[in-house]
Amino acid sequence: MMPERSSSENIYKPHLMNVAEAIDEAPGVRTLRLEFHDAAKRDAFAFRSGQFAMYSAFGAGECPLCIASPPTRTDSIECTFRMAGRVTRELADVEPGDTIGFRGPYGNCFPTEEWEGRNLVFVAGGIGLPPVRCVICEALDRRDRYGDITIVYGARTIADLVYKRELDEWRRRSDVRLITTVDPGGETPGWDGEVGFVPAVLDKAGPSSDNAVAVVCGPPVMIRFAIESLRRIGFGPDCIYTTLENRMKCGVGKCGRCNVGSLYVCKDGPVFTAQQIANLPE
């Protein structure tokens, strides 16, 4: 977590971040690599895999996005987003050297220390890979702490697959099992990956649930069917983790927009187990 702010400090005041790099990942999807203007804040900053932050385009507003880079890499912070609204459209227009706002980290995290010695299964669809990428990279940076690592990732088309360079790196690793897929009709000549929806490909891959935990993120319908697939394979609901983005606005549990039952996604999440999600109101 970040150091606690003083009681007189404005909790809504963002830190200034320099855009060090802007990467076009897929049609309408971009990654920004950010560096703190203030070196002291950079040195004091800490976060955990799974946490999110509020990113602001000055004059347009701010929006919640995951921190897509792992806590094991502290020289910069990365966020990846699809252009879907006013703020993300403005963020998509920034270039290296520009300044944006950042406040966070917020929310809970993946319990990666509890997972040490266990096998890891990551399941993601489309733009759902960024929240999973942070914990994948943490596990790979601390590879000796974990058992087998399986990654099942799919998108609508080949062009929609994000982090293509990293996917190539993961594919070449002998200590990672990577399975990529595209939806039927999304393949092109020369595609040597799977063709099919992520839950069906997950069923086919059949990763062992023995001494394993799974992380799932993607469109809600994909999450639903991927969890069902993992349950059929033998994963208990307390061994399946996912992240929610339920209309988060303030990040600190003040506005109430992300309230679900007795919980606030921004404070009690965004990381939940399948068991916790099953107990939430419809």
Domains, the chain, ranges and CATH?
15-106 (2.40.30.10), 119-243 (3.40.50.80)
Name the residue among 23, 12, 25, 7 with its Cα closest to residue 53.
Answer: 12
Q: What percent of the chain has pLDDT over 70?
A: 96
Q: Measured between alpha carbons, how far is 226 from 216 in angstroms, rounded to an integer?
A: 7
Name the residue among 159, 274, 259, 272 with its Cα closest to residue 226.
Answer: 274
CB 139 within 8 A of CB 146: yes
Segment 188-228, tens digit of pLDDT: 888 999 999 999 999 999 999 999 999 999 999 999 999 99
Q: Considering the entire predicted model, what is its pTM?
A: 0.92
CB 157 within 8 A of CB 190: no
DSSP secondary structure of 231-270: HHHT--GGGEEEE---S--SSSSSS-TTEETTEEHHHH-S
Instruction: Work out the pLDDT band at 3, boundaries 50, 70, 90.
Output: very low
Tokens coding 16: 């200034």
What residues contact residue 219 under an 8 Å CB cut-off, 6+ apart?
125, 126, 128
β-bridge mates for residue 31, sequence order:
23, 80
Q: Measured between alpha carbons, how far is 204 from 199 in angstroms, rounded to an integer?
A: 9
CA pseudo-torsion sign 137, 140, 144, 146: positive
Segment 144-195, tens digit of pLDDT: 999 999 999 999 999 999 999 999 999 999 999 999 999 999 888 889 999 9
CB 218 within 8 A of CB 126: yes
What residues contact residue 213 under an 8 Å CB cut-off, 6+ apart?
115, 118, 119, 120, 121, 235, 239, 240, 241
The percent helix, strand, coil of the chain (3-state, each to 5) is 30, 30, 40
Tokens coding 31: 């990654």
131-135 mean pLDDT: 96
What residues contact residue 129 under an 8 Å CB cut-off, 6+ apart?
153, 162, 163, 217
Q: Measured between alpha carbons, how far is 150 from 280 in angstroms, rounded to an integer?
A: 29
Segment 50-83, tens digit of pLDDT: 999 999 999 999 999 999 999 999 889 999 999 9
